[in-house]
Amino acid sequence: MTDDFSYDGYDKHLGLEIVSATEDEVVGRFEVRPQLLQPYGLLHGGVLCSVVETLGSVAGAVWFGDRGNVVGTSNHTNFLRGVREGVLTGTATPIHRGRTQQLWTVDIRDEQGRLVAKGELRVANLAKE
């Protein structure tokens, strides 16, 4: 990934854009499009899990910095509100940042500020040797 966290992979397919990234908070945004809906016309839950994974991983990587890389080891995402359209914003903030692992919470909200999904992502810190 580049310093602006954009690349031509899965997140680009989702339309996920990292709006800001610091050691204490990462914010991303994406538009709900027809290609992201499940058969009942609602945003697919896998998209929300993916957003939790990306925002938590970017947050962990920014905090861990030059010490090495991070990889996701657990993703638990709760779906709280069905969404059919609009722009969603996710915010990752730390719960725990330790020597070998980190735990981040990610809130995904709609344009009215209502909580759509809440996830937790655990990442392992892979220190450089």
- Catalytically active residues, by annotation: 53
Which strands form 101-109's sheet, in the order they lie side by side? 17-21, 26-32, 86-97, 101-109, 115-127, 68-79
Helix (H) / strand (E) element for 45: namely: helix 45-64
